[in-house]
A and B are shown apart, each in its own frame.
Chain A
Amino acid sequence: MASTQLTDEQLFSELKRLGFTPGPLTENTRPVYLKKLKKLREEQQQQRSRGAKGRNSGSISNNSGSGGTNGNTAAGASGFRTRAPLNAAPSPGGRRDLNEKRTDRAGKFVLGFSSDESDAEAPLKKGGPSHNGSRRDRGSGPQSRCVRPTQETPAAARRSPGAHLGLSAVRRSAFTSPWWTDQAKSDLGETQSCVAKDNDYGEPEERDDSEEETEKSSRTVNGNRASYAADASKLAGDYSDSDEEEDREGQRYRARRHLSRGEPKSASSPYRSVRESESGQEKASGIIAVNDPPGVGSLDVMGERGEDDDETSEFSGGLFNRSYPKSSSFISGVMDEKDGETSSSRPAGCSKNHVDGGDGVASRFRIGLRPRFSSCNNSLSTTYRPNHSNHTGSNHSYSQAAHKHKQAVPEDELLQQFRREEVSSTGGFSAHYLSMFLLTAACLFFVVLGLMYLRMRGSSASEGVVGKCCVSGCNSPGGDYDCLNNTEKDLILSLLLQLHDHLADIAGEHDCKDLTDPLNRSISFSEATQYLKLRNKDYENWIQSSLEWIIKTGETAGIRLIAADPTQPVEDVSEIYRLESTHPRMSFLCRFRRAFLIVIYRAILILTGIGVVWGLMCYMKYRWRREEEETRQMYDMVERIIDVLRSHNEACQDNKELQPYLPIPHVRDSLVQPQERKKMKKVWDRAVTFLSANESRIRTETQRIGGADFLVWRWLQPSMSCDKMCSIPSKVWQGKAFPLDRRNSPPNSLTPCLKIRNMFDPVMEIGENWHLAIHEAILEKCSDNDGIVHIAVDKNSREGCVYVKCLSAEHAGKAFKALHGSWFDGKLVTVKYLRLDRYHQRFPQALACSTPLKPSNSSMNTMVRLHQRSSPSSSLAFS
């Protein structure tokens, strides 16, 4: 082409002629505009050659939209034509983006801030239902959005005056192929806006968020066939900064699922833009055979896939175009049936079609397809049936099938998620039981073990001992028993055994009955002999010898021999005064009880010890904190005193009549409120001593004032200029960065809750009560607005977030205007709206707040700078 020989002016005028308003032509922009010129020329040719094909008109719509964005209002009509073949270029998408941006400015800014970790909306894992619901809403969402602009926003170029005309025309006219070519423009104008809206879903998540919310609101609107007004109000109420990431994931997920079902039909894809190149094969399948009834699924694929990318804008346009030729019959059916419904249903259909991210167009004609619009789809499909005659039965049935399939898809997801939860819950259930069972088994085991041990200990002790005696009997050093015969040994042993048992019983009784009389634990020698004689007459002779044997062998045999003097060991049988068992036999219960009691006592002891230690630590902590607090108060007081003195000194400089010193009690009384004086006495005294010891700029002296002697403070430091500079107040409002207009802020306030960002830096803040300063600052900035009822500073947020709840949305709007874009403490503050219910979720204490908050004192400390300045400090905006 001869474009290289064009001069700048020629290029400029050429572009203008083609309906495109270029910017200044510089060396950098020249090549771009040259390319643009080439494209425009090609389009022109294409358009002329193509004539009134659907695609062109479809692209016309896109292009007209984009043309409008470029300020080509007047050239709308011509723009339509010239834009027609622009599909191949990336421009449609870009234009559309711009379009959407312009038109969606209203809602955009609210969504303008991406959510962060400290958002009121925690990134919840929404389940399937909400997920699908949100997606469902998406479909309805665009509709409302697209409706609103058509109704409310004044002439954007795109919205041709024929928009409404087109609406009605679409409704009523018979839709044959020529239909849309004629009506294309008007209809396009109307649908254009819808397209634009839907294209928005390709936009960053912020938009997705709000759109999702608007969809949600509009979903109910759709369901109820409510009026737009209700829709708008619902939109306002539902704005939130929910996490859009899950949405994205869900979209992708769905896209993939649809993709798997898509039938890759060959189709020309003249509209594939550069951006779509990334999606490669998906594109091929996506573009599809929109023209076939079975292509329904694929359309969805396209739509779905489109959602994932930012460049979905092309999609909707492309889809729109493509679907036109084939679905005319559909349209008629749809439109006709829609006639029977309220007006809102029409936009519902419109928006549904335009679904976000590009599947919109398809759905327009395949209402049942999108699971998103399942609610609307259901209603529509029910109304569909009566109008069956209007469109091919196959189409309808297929769409129904597809619709059902589509519906099944999200339900499957839902079910799967539920199943997963169920499984986990049952698993947990059984696991719980298992653990309980194991625990009880272990306990039982140990209990049984203990029982057995106790029993064995009680019973075998004596036998073991006696057994030992047996064995060693013959080898005793005593020598007396060396050649005892067995019967005698047995006798002795049995005697000892009997004795031992008896003694054990007695001792056990004694112990168990908790008698304090120690004497009863043992029995006297005579009693023992008596008992043994009772048992067996033969024992009599052997008592002595057995006891001697016990003494000699040194084996206790479970019997302790006590002499008259308890401390002396027994040497001879004659010294034996009492006998006692060393292994008292107690009933099991008794043993258990004793053991239990012992354990309890020990446990109590340990616990008491721990408790004491812990109490001590708590006390220490408390004291330490108290001290810290007091020290901080003291320093605070010291600073205030210094400030007072310094300011007094400065005042003295100006006014020579004042005395350069201040009496200490006067300072105290001016700084400390009367009701606090008693409490602060200690702090004050500490501050005074601190000042006298550590502050060199203040001198304490005695002066006579009014006849009485006062201790006074005199400020010594000569005023330095740098002193003033150093006293930059830290937390003040410093002016507005940019004026708030329609582009920067939502046109109406949406919710009564605000989230204010970038008011502080959590790592830089020190002390305990800096958040109160933030409260003060906000209240003072919005002092004209009596509607702030709750403020919450999120101390841990990285972005310095503050949450504010107002009495109503208008109050919130006023606060928004006052706060958004202002500079505070060197940081640019941004505000966005939050959903009320989410706010309450996060701050349940705000539910009850209804009294407006006021700044604590009327001295507007944080507005000092603003009041000082006479001119707005907009220069700070771009520092």
Chain B
Amino acid sequence: MSTTSQKHRDFVAEPMGDKPVTALSGIGEALGKKLEEQGFDKAFVVLGQFLLLRKDRELFAEWLKDASGANARQAGACSQCLQEWCDAFL
């Protein structure tokens, strides 16, 4: 079992551009909808939130759980995904 999913790898492999928020690892349809309702319709907006939290994975995971009802695993995956993306492209 790989720890990072294909989704994660796909996301981290290239600049996110205009990808929707469901392209983030850990964010599926349901979570994506919830985030979109709150205004986070694109992955870069969520990235913005991540950066606002000073790239603190744990804080971001907390935030994600509060904002979208994600569970710990999903939030962790998303934060990891974003962090790696930042490491690669930021």
Q: Which residues of A contact B (CB under 8 A)?
A: 21-24, 26, 28-29, 31-33, 35-36, 70, 89-91, 93-95, 97-98, 101, 105, 108-109, 112-114, 202-206, 208, 244-245, 248-249, 252, 274-275, 277-278, 310-311, 737-738, 743-744, 758, 828, 830, 877-879
Q: Are B17 and A94 in contact (CB under 8 A)?
A: no
Cα separation A32 to B55 with both chains bound (whole Å) = 13
Residues from chain B with Cβ under 8 Å of A91 in the complex = 58-59
Residues from chain B with Cβ under 8 Å of A744 in the complex = 87-88
Cα separation A112 to B2 with both chains bound (whole Å) = 14
Q: Beyond the given A204-B84, A244-B3, A878-B15, could you list 20 further A-B residue pairs with CB under 8 A, ordered by the A residue number?
A: A23-B53, A26-B52, A28-B67, A29-B53, A29-B63, A32-B59, A94-B57, A94-B59, A95-B58, A98-B57, A101-B83, A101-B87, A114-B9, A202-B3, A203-B3, A203-B80, A248-B3, A278-B72, A310-B77, A744-B87
Cα separation A274 to B67 with both chains bound (whole Å) = 17
Q: Are A278 and B73 in contact (CB under 8 A)?
A: yes
Q: Are B80 and A879 in contact (CB under 8 A)?
A: no
B53-84 contact mask (Cβ, 8 Å, vs A): 1 or 0: 11111110111001100001100110110011
Residues from chain B with Cβ under 8 Å of A36 in the complex = 59, 62
Q: Are A90 and B58 in contact (CB under 8 A)?
A: yes
Residues from chain A with Cβ under 8 Å of B59 in the complex = 32-33, 36, 91, 94
Q: Are A109 and B87 in contact (CB under 8 A)?
A: yes
Question: What interface size band does chain B fall in?
Answer: 35 or more
Residues from chain A with Cβ under 8 Å of B88 in the complex = 112, 744
Known A-B contacts A31-B66, A248-B3, A252-B1; the reply to A310 vs B52 at CB < 8 A is: no
Q: Are B15 and A32 in contact (CB under 8 A)?
A: no
Q: Are A70 and B62 in contact (CB under 8 A)?
A: no
Q: Are A204 and B54 in contact (CB under 8 A)?
A: no
Total inter-chain residue pairs, C-beta < 8 Å: 119
Cβ contacts A to B, 21 pairs, < 8 Å: A21-B54, A23-B54, A23-B56, A29-B53, A29-B63, A31-B66, A32-B63, A70-B54, A90-B61, A90-B62, A94-B79, A97-B57, A101-B83, A105-B87, A208-B3, A244-B3, A248-B3, A249-B1, A252-B1, A311-B76, A738-B89
Residues from chain A with Cβ under 8 Å of B2 in the complex = 114, 204-205, 244-245, 248
The 7 A-B pairs with the shortest beta carbon distances in the complex, nearest first, are A94-B58, A204-B4, A23-B54, A32-B63, A204-B3, A94-B57, A274-B72
B14 interface contact, C-beta 8 A:
yes
Q: Are A35 and B57 in contact (CB under 8 A)?
A: no
Q: Are A828 and B14 in contact (CB under 8 A)?
A: yes
Separation in Å of the B73 CB from the closest CB of chain A? 7
Q: Are A22 and B62 in contact (CB under 8 A)?
A: no
Interface centre among B8, B59, B63, B88 (most CB of A within 10 A): B59
Residues from chain A with Cβ under 8 Å of B63 in the complex = 28-29, 31-32
Q: Are A94 and B84 in contact (CB under 8 A)?
A: no
Known A-B contacts A252-B1, A275-B72; the reply to A29 vs B15 at CB < 8 A is: no
Interface centre among A24, A29, A112 (most CB of B within 10 A): A29
Cα separation A767 to B54 with both chains bound (whole Å) = 49
B33-67 contact mask (Cβ, 8 Å, vs A): 1 or 0: 00000000000000001011111111101110011
Q: Which residues of B contact A (CB under 8 A)?
A: 1-4, 8-9, 13-15, 17, 49, 51-59, 61-63, 66-67, 72-73, 76-77, 79-80, 83-84, 87-90
Known A-B contacts A28-B49, A310-B76; the reply to A206 vs B4 at CB < 8 A is: yes
Residues from chain A with Cβ under 8 Å of B56 in the complex = 23, 70, 94, 98
| B interface secondary structure, majority | helix
Cα separation A308 to B34 with both chains bound (whole Å) = 30
Cα separation A156 to B46 with both chains bound (whole Å) = 29
Interface centre among A21, A90, A105, A879 (most CB of B within 10 A): A90
Could you say which of A70, A202, A878 contacts B17, with CB atoms under 8 Å apart?
A878
Residues from chain B with Cβ under 8 Å of A89 in the complex = 58
Could you say which of B4, B13, B66 contacts A32, with CB atoms under 8 Å apart?
B66
Known A-B contacts A31-B66, A101-B87, A877-B89; the reply to A204 vs B57 at CB < 8 A is: no
Separation in Å of the B11 CB from the closest CB of chain A? 12
CB nearest to B54 among chain A residues: A23
Q: Are B87 and A112 in contact (CB under 8 A)?
A: yes
Q: Are B76 and A204 in contact (CB under 8 A)?
A: no
Q: Are A24 and B52 in contact (CB under 8 A)?
A: yes
Separation in Å of the A684 CB from the closest CB of chain B? 44
Separation in Å of the B16 CB from the closest CB of chain A? 8
Cα separation A245 to B9 with both chains bound (whole Å) = 14
Known A-B contacts A28-B49, A32-B66, A244-B2; the reply to A112 vs B15 at CB < 8 A is: no
Could you say which of A95, A112, A245 contacts B84, with CB atoms under 8 Å apart?
A112
Separation in Å of the A493 CB from the closest CB of chain B? 89
Cα separation A828 to B14 with both chains bound (whole Å) = 7
Known A-B contacts A35-B62, A94-B58, A98-B56; the reply to A277 vs B3 at CB < 8 A is: no
CB nearest to B81 among chain A residues: A204
Separation in Å of the A99 CB from the closest CB of chain B? 11
Residues from chain A with Cβ under 8 Å of B72 in the complex = 90, 274-275, 277-278
